[in-house]
Structure 1
Amino acid sequence: MSKDTRLVLGIVGGGFLILLVLFIAIISLLGSSDQFTNGTSFGNTVAIVPVQGEIAYSQSNILGGGGVASPQTITEGIKQAEKDGSVSAIVLDVNSPGGSPVASEEIMNVVKTAKKPVVVWISDIGASGAYLVASPADKIMASPSSIVGSIGVILSLTDLSGLYQKIGVNQYAIKAGEYKDMGASYRNLTPEEERMLQEMVNQDYEYFIKQVAENRKLDLDYVRSIAEGKIYTGTQAKELKLIDETGDREKAIESAARLGGIKGDYEVITITPTETLADIIKGYSTNFAYALGKGIGSLLNEGSVESSVDYSLR
């Protein structure tokens, strides 16, 4: 074999080797990603992220409220599942009456933008803010006897002025700004204040309806007709297209596995991230600032006074 022939073969062989290395590198990059573009996943694991209790920021735990579904822990759980290459699908295990509209919307947005399939399973209750969280999922399943819906907004205020007079308590405020003590427990609302708050509630209600219609691909007027704060059983919710199927937890996990492209057996893990002190302080300061900005009573639920805008079943 001539020198020139060996040189040509060497160049060709070297080029082929380089192409082979590049091909392997591309395959490796695809393998390290969570999914192919057609949705087929590499992992054989379904991750469960619990959404249990009232949806609220962390300060409820500080005040001893308990039973709080924190957006910090839930969104972090979803993000962990998204980053884990062994996870093909996510199940949100929901048992919640709803809660803060801001916290609910925060979780909803993470569910909406998730790259991996998300299946929601509603056990006892998935109402108001919890249903808002569930609405953009790839599939919603619920126990036939569960409570679903309650699409509505409530602003609860308490007027204790009559009680204060009876027990000789004279409570008042020194304020700057005509409406700064709007919703305070020591006086009732003026007609103008009631109109202002009703407009706020109506605006939030219309936003809630619009999000459900968009997420569930339903007609806006249809959603408005079945909303109105009504609650439904899982069976009724399926008939109304608020959920996709009725079934138990295992059926929801099985459905998530198949949506994730898992053909055979699969593993199930539960992701429950622990909140750091920074997360707790962040949630507390964020909601407290929101309360100050609104100037409507207290979001800290002191005593028996309720003064919060809340997507919840009351």
Structure 2
Amino acid sequence: MEKSRRILAYGILAIVILILALTGIIVAIMHIPIEGSSGDIAVIDLDGTIYSRGTEEGLFSDYQPGVEDYIEWIEDAQEDDGTKAIIIRINSPGGEAIASEKLAKAIKEASEKKVVVAYVESMAASAAYQAASSTDYIVAEKQSLVGNIGVRMEIIHYYGLMDDLGINVTTIKSGEYKDIGSPTRPMTEEEKEMLGSIVNESYDDFVSWVAENRNMTLEETYKVADGRIYSGSQAKKAGLVDMVGTEEDAIDIAAEMAGISGEPELYEYGGKSSGFLGMKFNDALYSFGYGLGKGLAETSVEETSPSYGMYF
């Protein structure tokens, strides 16, 4: 009798999982944007750290869009005949150098076809400011944080801890600099200079981009691009933003620049989801179905990351 009950319970559980998975697929289909769904102004949320690839969504974790998501939304809005202007709503501390450059170029290309306005709500620092500088006009809240223009490379070292623990590492390498940035040994001054030259080259490109898009001279830009962070009102004085204002101001500016008469209709793209527990029911089912299918289809692959990277 007990065995029969267990079999029945497992059978019911399997049916429930199957129903939820199928429901997730159906909801996923429902989530596909309908062609022509747009508004006078497209609003794209640039929220969180800028990465090349978005983070995975789980039962209790958020999905963070990657730069490819942002570029896709920008291109959709750019190609939509019903959309007259684009607003990039920014709440970001910056991110990866290469991802940031891709995003800035995509925004710049969009601004050559349609009006693009940046609205800095809480923060547009480093890479996020590079994105903002690529637009036609920047509106920032008075108490927002703007700037932090610069490049950094982080290298983690733990050879001191290894010495304390009595751990030794033997490195066999093909060339003198093959293990540059290794966390298991101190860096030489020559190696620091080599990596520093890469950082400085990237920094010069960053400054040149800002100078060109903000109609500033290189000398003017270098003076304000020393890594410091400005408030919205300070950034206005430094020439890094065009107006201190609210999101409503950004909407009004975008509508005026795009020649939109009357009350503009807004259409929002993307954003960060809040995980399974914070979702609406349909979104939760979609997440469950997607996660189940992905888990069944893929094998686990262990990934290793480099000990250093370059960030805006």
TM-score, normalised relative to structure 2: 0.73
CA contact (8 A) 1:54 1:69 kept: no
Please show how residues 68-87 of structure 1 align to structure 2 within 5 Å.
Answer: 68-87=64-83
CA contact (8 A) 1:45 1:266 kept: yes
Partner of 2:97: 101
Q: What amino acid sits opposite 1:56 in the alignment?
A: Y
Q: What amino acid sits opposite 1:225 in the alignment?
A: K
CA contact (8 A) 2:55 2:65 kept: no
**C-alpha separation in 2, matches of 1:241 and 1:88:** 26
* TM-superposed deviation, 1:65: 9.2
1:73-127, Cα deviation, whole Å (9 max, x unpaired): 1111111111111111000011101111111111111111111100000111101
Gaps of 5+ in 2: 1-37, 273-289, 291-303
Gaps of 5+ in 1: 1-42, 278-296, 300-305
Q: Find out whether 1:50 has 2:45 as its counterpart.
A: yes
**C-alpha separation in 1, matches of 2:122 and 2:150:** 19
Please show how residues 7-22 of structure 1 align to structure 2 within 5 Å.
Answer: none
Secondary structure, in 3 states, of the residue corresponding to 1:210?
Answer: helix
More displaced stretch, 73-82 vs 60-69? 60-69
Partner of 1:183: 181
Partner of 2:249: 251
Greater relative CO, 1 or 2 (CA 8 Å, sep 6+): 2
RMSD of equivalent CA atoms: 2.5
Partner of 2:234: 236
* TM-superposed deviation, 1:173: 2.9
**C-alpha separation in 1, matches of 2:61 and 2:150:** 23
Secondary structure, in 3 states, of the residue corresponding to 2:157?
Answer: coil
Please show how residues 1-314 of structure 1 align to structure 2 within 5 Å.
Answer: 45-58=40-53, 60-61=55-56, 68-114=64-110, 115-272=113-270, 298-299=305-306, 307-311=308-312
Q: What amino acid sits opposite 2:84 in the alignment?
A: S
**C-alpha separation in 2, matches of 1:66 and 1:205:** 32
Q: What amino acid sits opposite 1:231 in the alignment?
A: I
Q: What amino acid sits opposite 2:132 in the alignment?
A: A
* TM-superposed deviation, 1:265: 1.6
Secondary structure, in 3 states, of the residue corresponding to 1:51?
Answer: strand
Identical-residue share of aligned pairs (%) = 36
1:33-71, Cα deviation, whole Å (9 max, x unpaired): xxxxxxxxxx96110011111111116548999674511
Partner of 1:294: none
**C-alpha separation in 2, matches of 1:68 and 1:118:** 23
Give the paired residue count.
243
Q: What amino acid sits opposite 2:100 in the alignment?
A: S
1:170-192, Cα deviation, whole Å (9 max, x unpaired): 23433222212111111111111
Partner of 2:24: none
Secondary structure, in 3 states, of the residue corresponding to 1:54?
Answer: coil
Partner of 1:285: none
**C-alpha separation in 1, matches of 2:179 and 2:61:** 25
* TM-superposed deviation, 1:298: 3.6
Distance 1:172 1:246, change over 3 A: farther
Q: What amino acid sits opposite 2:176 in the alignment?
A: E
Distance 1:113 1:200, change over 3 A: same
Q: What amino acid sits opposite 1:309 in the alignment?
A: M
Larger Cα-atom Rg: 1
